Amino acid sequence: MEHIRLPKVENVRLLDRISTRRSRVGTLYLTATHTIFVENEAGVRNETWVLHSLVYSVEKATTTSGCLLVIHCKNFQVLQFVIPQERECYDVHLSLQRLSQPESYEELYCFSYKPNVDEEERLQEWDFLDHKADYSRMGLPNCLWKLSPVNRHYKVSDTYPANLFVPDSAASPVIVGSSKFRSRGRFPTLSYYSKENHAAICRSSQPLSGFSARCLEDEQMLEAILRSNPRSDFMYVVDTRPKLNAIANRAAGKGYENEDNYSNIKFQFIGIENIHVMRNSQQKMLEVCELRSPSMSNFLEGLESSGWLKHIKAVLDAGIFIAKVLIEKDWVSFGHKFSHRCNHLVGDPKEVSPIIDQFLECVWQLMEQFPCAFEFNERFLITIHSHIYSCQYGNFIGNNQRERKELGFWRGLYNRFDRGMHPRQSVEDHLRAIQEETQQLKEQLASHKKKIAKLEQEQEWSVTQKAATFDKSPTAWALGHDLGLANTPQDYTGDFLTSSPCQLKVPEGSLILIPQDLNKTSDSNHSNGSDQESGIADLSCRSPFSEDSTRDPDSDEAAYSAA
Amino acid sequence: MEFSEHIKTANVEDVVLRQPLHPPSRGTLCITGHHLLFSVREEVSSRQVLLLLRNIDAIEKRVNAPICISCLITLFLKSFLTSVENLFAYSGLISNAGRNESRISGSSGTITIKCKDLRVLQLDIPGMEQCLNIARSIETLSCLDCVSEMYPFFYRPSDISLQDQWGLSTPEKHYTQMKELQDRWRLSTVNKDYTVCPSYPPAVIVPMDVDDDVLKKVAKFRQGGRFPVLCYYHRKNGMVIMRSSQPLTGANRKRCKEDELLLQAVIDTSDKGYIIDTRSSQQAQQARITGGGFESKSCYNRWKRLHRHMERGKALQESLIKVVEACGDNSHNMDRWLSKLENSKWLSHVQTALSTAGLLAECVERDGHSVLVHGSEGIDSTLLISTLAQLIMDPSCRTLEGFLVLLEREWVQAGHPFQQRCAHSAHSHARLQQESPVFLLLLDCVWQVWRQFPLALGFSEALLLKLATEAYASDYGTFLCNSDQERCALGVKEKTHCLFQAVLRPLEREHYSNPLYEPTELAIWPSVHPQSLQLWRGFFLRWTQQTRHLEEAQEEIRNMVTEWGKMALS
């Protein structure tokens, strides 16, 4: 609390990034955990909540109408406030800078977040991802792979979990020896096993090979991995870096496996750029997204020069390569420091990387191409992105030739908060409502059938009664929409409802239906559902043409645009 | 049939067909006056592939002679004398040099067929002679100029009759249906014999107070006689969209009192109107040199002119060629793909069209003004944006039937020259003449709207794809000819079947309607931000595996809705 220099500022304007016509006036509050903007307009309770830990950067600038405060969030929300007094803006800026960069884990919101869940349930929640169950789904342990207790106390590798699977033949000294030869002790360990053909994916960090160092245990470890697949006489070692980077790393005492020292490995570089390249690329891409009214060419050029989709493709290509190898009954050992880099704590900004964004985007690209192959939807990915919990899925999607034409720009993530830009209607919502109603109707039908059978038995069956029972079901669409609202509070953010002008049946202030504490966890823009005109696009995206008007005194262009 | 003179080899056995999404198959190839017919000769299945010759945009032929030293030497020597660029010349050389039948029989040829629907097929044909005959027949028969010899005049399906109504609506019907406008607007038959404006239908809607003599004078002042006519009446506020061609003011700023009167009659004395010119103001100025021009402020003081530069003609065709080329480039390089896509400018044209249509709809729906739209000829981009604006504003245009009626009124009857514009598509090497994919651009824009409002349109993507194919090559007569006048002269309405009617047959109707359709009375304002616009994969990448997955998803949606419908009924 001591970091809040100013808890409340009146008369703040929240600008709309796309349309200047739609700025809102209200009060800005700073709390220990959130920045909250409450719109003043009478009768409407329109709040925007931003979690401090989601704040990526806070900048201020002076304009003619006041002091501009721009908050960039990690979920790509950009908020632009105009604060009347320079002094107030200064205080808010300073407070936010401190609040958004906690110095210890304890300051993070998850330690102060107290939903109405009792302790036992809370612990159960944490068991949600039962690693053992996941491994037993893969058919483990078996005679080839065993659970190793070696990292039980996180002594061998502090970044690995306690339970790790290793080849049955790998003895503890071999593992420990191998771990000493790997960055941060991340020795090769199982990440995916295919019980159909015994092929597996292992992962590790880079070896500390330098220019010539060897490690007998590490060589034995890889040998053990190779031998645990009786059907294969060699394995791939895939290095996700470009070869040049790997070579450069040798100078720092790190490097890659020398094919001469390890028996029967095939070495393969994939060429995924390092975190610094990725971070710059993402930054460039986000800048393109934030252009006020880019032309199609500006946008495509910018997207191209950011190289972002190129990197996404590289990651997907790597996935395809590994999946292919796996299907072709071979072996993969996989090395990369795949630690999550999310900038939760104050630290070296150079270590921040958009890897999780990239992973989620890759999954989204797959979903776009295989709409029927995933159980979850885009909103699930965005929810994960917002919360960045650790998650794990193991669905392999066959063997696909993927071309770069298939890769598209994920507006749903990067321009999520620009409501003017959204898809105006959601097929998913609609289908979910349909599906749920179908299910309900099925159940109703079943229960009616039962009832009828019973009544027939009792020989009291009458037509009138039957008609009466069917009356309970409200008309299909009304139900569909009610369901859409009532059943999905954790998924729905204000955006999805308000951006559809066709959701006629959404009542004013309908989001009140969402339980209060959920409101607080969700960090997105909880504006109300009354903005019936939000479907109106900003057609003022006219810059490519406006030059004409200035040259032509006879045209009424300018007059119209001003009107 | 006279076609036989173009067919030297009608049948070839043992041909291998390679087409996207199918394994190669061996069978018999047969060429007729209008079709390529390929029958698969397997015992288990007797599949047939029927391809309309009109659908073929370009072919490439390659002759694979067996390795024969004397042939190579002959070829080598001859190539000093004549540069062998054309494979026809090559074949001529060998048959002249050899005249040895057994040597040629070992040879084969490959014909690559590039279709207007962007499909690429390949035929491996045994026998060089046969291959070249087939190729020559395809080249000739795929671009016959004579409309009355085209397939729609021969297509006679068993389930529809020529007596059925041709087309869905008429200008008369359109007028009768709109009671609200009848006190201020009338139906004029000044063009009943197509003399006033050859590209207009016989009946058009004009302001009540303007008589036919005035119209005749206005027609002389507008390019191609396309005087301003009503194309849309906005029920909510009584505002209208008119369309025309450019006024022929010329270099010395000629005026036409009748033209000014007509436009004055459109708006009340107190009101003002907008003119949306689909050219940049610079282009409009330049048009005066060639006799065209624009409505100057001084002569039309109640009308405000807005210029929006929309690409047309050759530039648009070249853009299509580039985007198709980019889609066909199989090098796996992200950078090249994005720059090629950008370079094609196709998505920029989509963006311009949608935002201009949005502007038009904004004028009418939000600001409450009547608008006149024109470019130069008033038969391309004018129709494009008036159609899109109606789709944005008018719920009755968004049903399957309503959309088809809209297309019939604004494109077929309004005189978009389909025959000229759709003669060739993206693969053709023929010199560009009047080709321009304006209609395709419209369908792409409608698809973008469909993507942004998946519940608001009553038709499916399949309909848009069907229209995109049929505009270029069709069994039906709907897109034949360049105007109503030409269609009448050739008896198209009596001798061919109508695509729009065919699409509305019960089974087809199901396929072409949107299972998720939920009508809304609100205007649907599309987002025109670059982030919101996408390549129309269903069309441009239609023949790839990826598109199949999207189709599966659509099918899944249809099934879900069907199941829901059944349950709700029971």
Residue B201's pLDDT is 94
Residue B403's nearest CA partner among B452, B349, B467, B353 is B467
Q: CA A384 to CA A469: how far, in whole Å?
A: 43
Cα distances (Å, whole numbers) of residue B494 to A294, B487, B490: 50, 10, 9
The beta-carbon neighbor of B452 closest among A303, A424, A442 is: A424
B 155-214 residues with CB < 8 A to A: none
Retrieve residue B264's tokens: 């004055």
Closest CA to B374 of B358, B356, B362, B392: B356
Partner A contacted by B282 (CB < 8 A): yes
Q: What is the DSSP string of B341-386?
A: HHHH-HHHHHHHHHHHHHHHHIIIIIS--EEEEE-SSSSSHHHHHH
Pick B348's closest partner by Cβ from A295, A552, A559.
A295
- For A269-315, the pLDDT digits (tens) are 888 888 888 888 888 888 888 777 788 888 888 888 888 888 888 88
DSSP β-ladder status, B229-233 and A34-39: unpaired
Q: Min CA distance, B276 vs chain A (Å)?
A: 10
Give A-chain residues touching B285 at CB under 8 angstroms: 552
State the first-to-last Cα distance of chain B, in angstroms, to the nearest integer. 56
3-state secondary structure of B134: helix
Cβ distance of B453 and A502 shorter than 8 Å: yes
The radius of gyration of chain B's CA atoms, rounded to the nearest angstrom, is 26
Residue A267: pLDDT over 60? yes
State CA A142 to chain mean position distance.
34
pLDDT score of A152 more than 80:
yes
Cβ count within 10 A of residue A496: 23
Of A18, A402, A545, the CB nearest to B309: A545
Q: What is the DSSP letter of A182?
A: B
Judged by DSSP in three states, A49 sits in strand
Chain B residues whose CB is inside 8 A of the A295 CB are 348, 351, 530
Closest partner residue to A548 among B282, B334, B453, by Cβ? B282
Other beta carbons within 10 Å of B270? 6
Q: What is the largest CA-CA distance in chain A?
A: 91
Cβ-Cβ contacts under 8 Å, A539 against chain B: 355, 358-359, 362, 525, 528
The pLDDT confidence band at residue A554, using thresholds 50, 70 and 90, is very low
B85 compared with A489, residue with greater pLDDT: B85
SS3 B563: helix
Output helix, strand, coil percentages for chain A, rounded to the nearest 5. Answer: 45, 15, 40
Cα distance between residue B523 and residue B360, in whole Å: 13
pLDDT tens for B315-348 read 999 999 999 998 887 776 777 888 888 889 999 9
> Which 3-state string (H, E, C) describes A276-293?
HHHHHHHHHHHHHHHCCC
Residue length of chain B = 570
Cα A511 from chain centre: 24
Min CA distance, B562 vs chain A (Å)?
10
pLDDT-wise least confident of A421-430, B3-12, B411-420: A421-430
Q: Is-cis flag, bond preceding A141, omega within 30? A: yes
Most confident listed range (A137-151, B256-270, B485-499): B485-499
Alpha-carbon distance values, B124 to B64, B130, B135 (Å): 10, 11, 12
d(CA B487, CA B477): 9
- Contact between B58 and B109 under an 8 Å Cβ cutoff? The reply is no
**pLDDT computed for residue B74 by the predictor:** 55
Interface residue B432 vs chain A (CB under 8 A): no
Strand residues in A74-163 grouped as ranges (E): 78-83, 145-148
CA-CA distance, B244 to B223, in Å (whole number)?
9
Q: What is the mean pLDDT of residues B292-314?
A: 90
H/E/C letters for each residue in B446-509? HHHHHHHCCCCCCECHHHHHHHHHHCCCCCCCCCCCCCHHHHHHHCHHHHCCCHHHHHCCHHHH
Residue B78: the pLDDT is 52
Examine the pLDDT at B349 and tell me if it is beyond 90. Answer: yes
| Residue A29, pLDDT above cutoff 80 | yes
Mean pLDDT for B194-210 is 93
**In this complex, do B452 and A425 lie within 8 Å of one another by their Cβ atoms?**
yes
Contact A549 B281 (CB under 8 A): yes
Ramachandran bin of A151, using left for φ above 0, alpha for ψ from -120 to 50, beta for the remaining angles: alpha
The CA distance from B501 to the nearest CA of chain A, in Å, is 29
B341–A441 C-beta distance less than 8 A: no
Show the beta-strand stretches assigned E in B397-464.
none
> Is the predicted pLDDT of residue A42 greater than 70, yes or no?
no
Chain A CB within 8 Å of residue B352 CB:
yes
Find the helix or strand (DSSP H, E) in which A557 lies. helix A557-562
Are B334 and A403 in contact, with CB atoms under 8 Å apart?
no
* Contact residues, B window 456-485, toward A, CB-based 8 Å cutoff: 456
How far is the C-alpha of A560 from the C-alpha of B440, rounded, in Å?
30
> Judging by DSSP bridges, how do beta strands A145-148 and A78-83 pair with one another?
unpaired
Handedness of CA B124, B130, B131, B134 (dihedral sign): negative
What's the mean per-residue pLDDT of chain B?
86
Dihedral of alpha carbons A402, A357, A425, A293, sign: negative
* Residue B337 touches partner A, C-beta closer than 8 Å: yes
Mean pLDDT of A196-218: 85
**How high is the pLDDT of residue B276?**
94
Task: Please name the residues in contact with B493: beta carbons below 8 A apart, sequence gap of 6 or more.
Answer: B166, B167, B477, B487
B75 touches chain A (CB under 8 A): no
Lowest mean pLDDT among A218-232, A352-366, B124-138, B551-565: A352-366
Averaged over A515-542, what is the pLDDT? 37
Highest mean pLDDT among A245-254, A342-351, B456-465: B456-465
**Tokens coding A504:** 């006629």
Look at residue A422 and tell me whether its pLDDT is greater than 60.
no
Distance CA A492, CA A514 (A): 9
Angle at A430 between CA A428 and CA A432, to 5 degrees: 65
Check if B389 contacts A (Cβ < 8 Å). Answer: no
CB A207 within 8 A of CB A257: yes
The tens digit of pLDDT for each residue in A95-151 reads 888 887 766 655 555 555 555 656 666 655 555 456 677 777 778 788 888 888 888
Q: How far is B351 from chain A (nearest CA, A)?
A: 7
Closest chain B residue to A475 measured between Cα atoms?
A: B568
Assess B569–A contact: CB distance below 8 Å, yes or no.
Answer: no
In this predicted structure, the answer to whether residue A548 has a pLDDT above a threshold of 50 is: no
| Nearest CA-CA distance, residue A299 and chain B, Å | 6
For residue A325, the model assigns a pLDDT of 67
CA atoms within 13 A on the CB side of A136: 5
Chain B closest CA to A56's CA: distance in Å?
Answer: 23
Chain A nearest C-alpha distance from B88 (Å) = 36
Question: Per DSSP, what are the bridge partners of residue A69?
Answer: A60, A81
Q: Which whole number is the average pLDDT over A247-268?
A: 85
CB of A526 closer than 8 Å to CB of A47:
yes
Cβ partners under 8 Å of residue A423, min gap 6: A412, A499, B451, B452, B454, B532
Q: A548, B309: Cβ pair inside 8 Å?
A: yes
Candidates A353, A350, A338; CA nearest to A390 is A338
The torsion angles phi and psi of A415, rounded to 5 degrees, stand at: -120, 35
Angle at A219 between CA A216 and CA A223, to 5 degrees: 135
Task: Measure in Å the smallest separation between the Cα of A307 and chain B Cα atoms.
Answer: 7
Which residue would you say has higher pLDDT here, B38 or A433? B38
Which among A309, A369, A555 is the nearest to B306, CB-wise?
A: A555
- The encoded tokens of residue A256 equal 């890659």
Enumerate the residues of chain A whose CB falls inside 8 A of the CB of residue B334: 304, 307, 309-310, 313, 404, 407
ipTM surpasses cut 0.85: no
Q: CB-CB: which of B307, B456, B552 is closest to A549?
A: B307
Which chain B residue is nearest to residue A313, measuring alpha carbons? B334
Predicted confidence (pLDDT) per residue in B452-489, tens digit: 898 899 999 999 999 999 999 999 999 999 999 999 99
Tokens 């360049």: give the residue: B482
Query: What integer is the mean pLDDT of A87-93?
Result: 87
**Cross-chain residue pair B560–A301, CB shorter than 8 Å:** no
Average pLDDT over residues A558-562: 27
CB contact under 8 A, A423 and B451: yes
**Pick from B2, B33, B106, B26: nearest CA to B63:** B106
Distance CA A490, CA A527 (A): 15
- The count of other CB atoms within 10 Å of the CB of residue A465 is 13
Q: How many residues does chain A have?
A: 563
Name the residue among A299, A313, A415 with its Cβ closest to that of B334. Answer: A313
For residues A563 and B370, which has the higher predicted lDDT (pLDDT)?
Answer: B370
CA–CA dist B310, B381 (Å, integer) = 7
